[in-house]
Amino acid sequence: MGTETINALVVVLLGGIFCCLIHWSIGRLQQWLARRYGLPPTSPSTPTPPSIRTLLLDWFGNGLRTLIWFLYVRLLLDFMPKTRRDMETVGARLRRLSDDSIEWLVHPGLRLLLTLIVTIFLMRFTAALIRTAFALMARGAVARDAEATQRRLQTLSTIFSGVAQSTIFFIGLLTLLQQLDVNITPILASAGVVGIAVGFGAQSLIKDLFSGFLILLEDQFSVGDIVRIAEFSGTVEQITLRATRIRGMDGSLTTIPNGNIATVSNLSKDWSRVVLDVEIDYREDVDRAMAIALATATAYREESPQTIVEDPTMLGVDRVTYTSVTLRLLVKTAPAKQFDITRELRRRIKLAFDEQGVQTPLAVQQLVLPDELVLHPGREISPTPAEETLDRKSDRR
């Protein structure tokens, strides 16, 4: 190994050490500036997005580090001797490298590097702006729906960030190729053909994705809501852009493509309602039974004001039959609490009726007997003339 090769290796090693020191110094400078201006440290595990000032500081340091290591890689590619016959002195190589680097930076290199840095910066900066905007929207959510709202906004933020980053990346890539004198017309034509083919071949998938996006954007239902979609009903366990998964009362998990969802009945949106029908015996005092049922529901509301959000309302007599009278009671509840409150109200009203002596209708069958059989139990009843005529016709047949 010659002297010039050793000198080249030493210069490359010293350059690497120098780049490492600069890389470390930039990190220390970022930490000092963050402490100086009271900026919180950025971490992927933190749910809140960084501020604009933190984002600018972070990407300014990353840009400087990228530029330093880019120049070092250029040094490795152009400085090391390829063959011993083309050996040059270290000074000559340094001068040639300096001239070539300046010429490259002045003409195409500066534009390419600037395009690359601007593309990366815009991709990350746009994604951070979208996350910040959705985080501000999530702060105004109602307390009880904060978790579901944050989950929905996080999904929308990921969608918008992905679309924005893909668009910026595609535009930046085309700009770089155009600056490198690459004809981008075939690329655009191929992308159009591929887009048309994908559109025809994946119509149902695109329909599902678009429907899922609208479900999340309009907040039609969220995870944990009780919904009824077509003949399926249950609790929503998962919502994606592709499908919605519902857990039924019997434990079955139903997966419904979002494109097939035409009508949704949300049973736990904002608030719910109990429509309770109570039957009493036809001979009971209706007003007294209505007062007992309403008082029982009102007492239950005083015990659980978080689940029963308004005073119960007794609508009155809803139906009258020959054996019973049906009373209808309305109770406004918190979301998805109507089923538990319905069962508890039935139990309490039944106990209150038993305590106050209110009778409920009994399934009694009445048997109507002829007067002759009632007065003379052992006497045989002779048939009527009409019945005798029917018996003769049946005998002839």
Question: DSSP strand E in 290-396: where?
Answer: 313-320, 324-333
* Same domain? 59 vs 140: yes
Q: Does any domain span residue 381? A: no
> What CATH number is associated with residue 232?
2.30.30.60
* Same domain? 32 vs 124: yes
* Same domain? 24 vs 120: yes
> pLDDT value at position 85?
42
The residue that leads in pLDDT, 100 or 306, is: 306
Dist. CA 178–CA 175, nearest whole Å:
5
Domain boundary among 119, 145, 171: 145
Q: In the chain, how many domains are there?
A: 3
* Same domain? 141 vs 9: yes
* Same domain? 288 vs 240: no
Q: Does any domain span residue 240? A: yes
Q: Does any domain span residue 386? A: no
Percent of the chain clearing pLDDT 70 (strictly above) = 68
Residue 90 has pLDDT above 70, yes or no: no
> pLDDT value at position 143?
45
> pLDDT value at position 47?
46
Nearest CA-CA partner of 321 in 282, 283, 265 = 282
> Measured on CA atoms in the order 341, 347, 352, 357, is the torsion positive or negative?
positive
> pLDDT value at position 329?
94
**Residue 86 pLDDT grade (very low, low, confident, very high; cuts 50, 70, 90):** very low
Residue 117 has pLDDT above 70, yes or no: yes
Q: Does any domain span residue 193? A: no
Domain boundary among 126, 145, 164: 145
Domain boundary among 100, 126, 145: 145
Give tens-digit pLDDT for 217-246: 787 888 788 889 888 888 888 888 888 899
Q: Does any domain span residue 322? A: yes
**Residue 291 pLDDT grade (very low, low, confident, very high; cuts 50, 70, 90):** very high
Which residues form the domain of 306? 272-356
The residue that leads in pLDDT, 64 or 389, is: 64
* Same domain? 243 vs 125: no
Query: Across all residues in the chain, what is the average pLDDT?
Result: 76
* Same domain? 277 vs 260: no
* Same domain? 278 vs 259: no
Residue appearing with tokens 């139903």: 254
Residue 98 has pLDDT above 70, yes or no: no
> Measured on CA atoms in the order 281, 287, 292, 296, is the torsion positive or negative?
positive
> What CATH number is associated with residue 342?
3.30.70.100
> pLDDT value at position 15?
78
Q: Residue 245: helix, strand or coil by DSSP?
A: strand
* Same domain? 85 vs 9: yes
* Same domain? 252 vs 277: no
Residue 284 has pLDDT above 70, yes or no: yes
Residue 45 has pLDDT above 50, yes or no: no
Residue 89 has pLDDT above 70, yes or no: no
Q: Does any domain span residue 182? A: no
What is the secondary structure of 272-318 as a DSSP string?
EEEEEEEEEETTS-HHHHHHHHHHHHHHHHHH-TTTB-S--EEEEEE
Residue 83 has pLDDT above 50, yes or no: no
Neighbours of 266 (CB within 10 A): 19
Output the six-digit token pair for 187: 């690329």
Q: Does any domain span residue 14? A: yes
* Same domain? 140 vs 24: yes
Rounded mean pLDDT of 168-194?
A: 77
- The answer to whether 268 and 225 have CB atoms below 8 angstroms apart is yes
Give tens-digit pLDDT for 240-274: 888 889 998 888 899 999 888 888 888 887 888 99
* Same domain? 19 vs 54: yes
Rounded mean pLDDT of 123-144?
A: 68
Q: Does any domain span residue 12? A: yes
Question: DSSP strand E in the chain: where?
Answer: 226-229, 232-239, 243-247, 253-257, 264-266, 272-281, 313-320, 324-333
By mean pLDDT, which of 134-138, 187-191, 324-328 is the weakest?
A: 134-138
**Residue 77 pLDDT grade (very low, low, confident, very high; cuts 50, 70, 90):** low
Rounded mean pLDDT of 203-209?
A: 81
Dist. CA 343–CA 303, nearest whole Å:
16
Residue appearing with tokens 């749910």: 47
Dist. CA 66–CA 61, nearest whole Å:
9
> pLDDT value at position 370?
61
